[in-house]
Amino acid sequence: MATNGAGRPRPRGSGFELYSWLFMRISGVLMLIFLLGHLYIMHIINSVEVVNYNFVAARWGTPLWRTWDLILLLLAALHGSNGLRILIDDYIHSHGWRVVALAVLYVLAIGFILGGSLVLFTFQPVAS
């Protein structure tokens, strides 16, 4: 048992964790608005029966709804993956496994964001 009065090594400081913490709070509140709005439009104003390809295609005809969905996609993907990153930091102690888990997480998160953005930006309605 070392009791020589020495402190532990000075913790690594950086502003990243502060902004990550702040982002979780702000994105949480924003998602509450955007997600509830989304649910309200898709399930309460419009009955589920009318939500089909044409409905979505018409909705995405306006930049407003594409932006709405892009914001929702970014907030959800970043909020979720940042939460998982913190869990991995907490629970996976072996350095090797932590690197593996974080790599998988980052690939998935970037994949979801890129895939979703690709559809949002390049979607062209086809009459059916």
What is the contact surface with another protein in residues (CB under 8 A)?
A: 1-3, 5-8, 10-15, 17-18, 20-22, 89-91
- Identify which of residues 18 and 100 has a Cβ nearer to another protein in the complex: 18
Distance (Å, rounded) from C-alpha 113 to C-alpha 75?
Answer: 10
- Identify which of residues 5 and 63 has a Cβ nearer to another protein in the complex: 5
- Identify which of residues 19 and 40 has a Cβ nearer to another protein in the complex: 19
Is 54 in contact with 17 (CB distance < 8 Å)? no
| In the complex, least distance from residue 118 CB atom to another protein, rounded to whole angstroms | 33
Q: Locate all alpha helices (DSSP H) within 1-128, ordered by sequence.
A: 16-39, 53-59, 63-91, 95-122
| In the complex, least distance from residue 21 CB atom to another protein, rounded to whole angstroms | 5
Phi and psi (nearest 5°) for 7?
Answer: -75, 170
